[in-house]
Structure 1
Amino acid sequence: MSELRWNPLRMNWVIVVKERGRGPQDYHLERERVTTTSCPFCYGQEAKTTQEVFAIRPEANPSGTSNWKVRVIPNKYPALRIEGDLDKRGVGLYDVMNGVGAHEVIVESPDHGRSMADFSPAEIVDVLKAYRARLLDLRKDPRFRYIIIFKNHGVEAGATIPHPHSQLIAVPITPPVVATKLSVSRDYYHRKERCLMCDMLDQEREEKERLVRDDDHFMVFAPFASSFPFELCIAPRRHSHDFALLGDEELTALAETLKDTLYRLRHVLRDPPYNLVLHNAPPMHLRLGKPSHWGSLPYDYHWHIELVPRLVKTAGFERGTGFHINPTPPEQAARYLREANLPAVL
Structure 2
Amino acid sequence: MGGLSGWGAGRVAEDWQPDERRVRSHKASRSSIDSDNENSLGTLAFSSQELCELPQLRQDLITGRWVAVATERARRPDSFSQAVKESVAARDLCPFCPGHEAMTPPEVLAYRAPGMPANGEGWWIRVVPNLYAAFRPEPDGQEQRAGRFWQRDAIGACEVLISSPDHRAPTSTLPRRQVEEMVQAYVDRYRHHAQNAWVEHVLILYNHGRPAGASLEHPHSQLYAIGLEAPAFADELDGARGFYRANAACVFCRTLEDERRAATRIVFENEAFVVFAPYAARTPFETWIMPRRHTASFGDLDPSREKPAFAEALQLTLRALQEGLNDPPFNYFIHSAPAKADVADAYHWHLELIPKLSTAAGFELGTGMWINVVKPEDSAAFLRERIQKVAEPA
Taking structure 2 as the reference length, the TM-score comes to 0.82
Deviation of 1:23 after TM superposition, in Å, equals: 2.3
Give the drift of 1:344. Answer: 6.5
1:94-173 equivalences under 5 Å are: 94-173=149-228
Is the deviation greater in 16-25 or in 78-87?
16-25
2:127 partner letter: V
Aligned residue for 1:282?
Answer: 338
2:68 maps to 1:15:
yes
Distance across 1 between alignment mates of 2:322 and 2:193: 33
Among residues 306, 329, 346, which one is paired with 2:352 in the alignment?
Answer: 306
Does the 8 Å CA contact 1:21/1:329 hold for their aligned counterparts? no
Q: Could you say which residue in structure 2 is the equivalent of 1:41?
A: 96
Are 1:50 and 2:97 counterparts? no
How far 1:82 moved relative to its partner? 0.8
Larger deviation: 139-148 or 41-50? 139-148
Letter in 1 for 2:62: L
Q: CA deviation at 1:85?
A: 1.9
Q: Are 2:292 and 1:237 equivalent residues in the alignment? A: yes
- Assess if the C-alpha contact under 8 Å between 2:84 and 2:326 holds in 1: no
In terms of fraction of residues, the more helix-rich structure is 2
1:259 aligns with 2:279: no
Q: State the distance in 1 between where 2:112 and 2:212 align.
A: 29
**For the residues of structure 2 that align with 1:344 and 1:130, how far apart are their CA atoms?**
24
Q: Distance in 1 between matches of 2:339 and 2:391?
A: 41
**Residues of 2 paired with 1:221 and 1:197: CA distance?**
12
Change (3 A) 1:146 1:33: farther
CA distance in 2, matches of 1:344, 1:168: 29
Letter in 2 for 1:342: K
What does residue range 145-224 of structure 1 map to in structure 2 within 5 Å? 145-224=200-279
Q: Secondary structure, in 3 states, of the residue corresponding to 1:325?
A: strand
SS of equivalent residue, structure 1 residue 239: coil
- Give the SS at the match of 2:222: strand
Question: Which stretch of structure 1 is more off in the superposition, 47-56 or 247-256?
Answer: 247-256
Cα distance in 2 for partners of 1:84, 1:191 equals 38
What is the SS of the residue equivalent to 2:366? helix
> Which amino acid in structure 2 is aligned with residue 300 of structure 1?
A
Counterpart AA for 2:69: V
SS of residue in 1 equivalent to 2:216: coil
Task: Return the alpha-carbon distance in structure 2 between the equivalents of residues 171 and 233 of structure 1.
Answer: 24
Q: TM-score, normalised on structure 1?
A: 0.93
64-73 or 3-12, which deviates more? 3-12
**1:36 alignment partner AA:** A
Contact 1:10 1:177 in 2 (8 A): no
Cα 1:88–1:261, aligned 2, differ >3 Å: closer, same or farther? same
Structure 1 position 224, deviation (Å):
0.4
| Contact 1:53–1:73 (Cα < 8 Å) also in 2 | yes
Q: Deviations over 1:234-292 (max 9, x none)?
A: 000111111111121211111111111111111111111110100011112xxxxxxxx
Contact 1:70 1:108 in 2 (8 A): yes
Residues 34, 102 of structure 1: alpha-carbon distance in 2 compared, 3 angstrom cutoff = farther
Q: How far apart are the structure 2 equivalents of 1:237 and 1:22?
A: 33
Gapped runs of 5+ residues in structure 2? 1-53
Alpha carbons 1:267, 1:342 under 8 Å: kept: no
Query: Does 1:24 pair with 2:77?
Result: yes
Match of 1:319 in 2: 365
User: In the TM superposition, what is the alpha-carbon distance from 1:28 to its structure 2 partner?
Assistant: 1.9
2:359 & 2:73 partners in 1: Cα distance?
19
- Greater RCO (Cα-Cα under 8 Å, separation 6 or more): 1
Cα contact 1:55–1:68 (8 A) shared by 2: yes
Moved more, 57-66 or 256-265: 57-66
For residues 136 and 274 of structure 1, what CA distance do their matches in structure 2 show?
A: 26
Provide the secondary structure at the position in 2 that maps to 1:56. Answer: strand
Equivalent-residue separation in structure 2 for 1:275 and 1:83 (angstroms): 28
Residue segments in structure 1 that go unaligned for 5+ positions in a row: 285-293
The C-alpha deviation readout for 1:292-346, integer Å capped at 9, x for no partner, is xx44x11110000000110011111110111111110000000011122625758
Q: Secondary structure at the match of 2:357?
A: coil
* Greater alpha carbon shift after TM alignment, 105-114 vs 58-67: 58-67
* Secondary structure in 1 matching 2:82: coil
Once the two structures are aligned, what percentage of the paired residues are identical?
A: 38
Offset of 1:208 from its aligned partner? 0.4
Distance 1:343 1:201, change over 3 A: closer
| Contact map agreement 2:335 2:352 (CA 8 A) in 1 | yes
Preserved contact between residue 223 and residue 330 of structure 1 (Cα < 8 Å): yes
> Deviation at 1:10?
3.1
Cα deviation per residue 1:47-72 (whole Å; 9 max; x = unaligned)?
11000000112434221111101100
> Which residue of 1 is the match for residue 35 of structure 2?
none
Query: What amino acid is the match of 1:254?
Result: F
Give the Å deviation of 1:27. Answer: 1.3
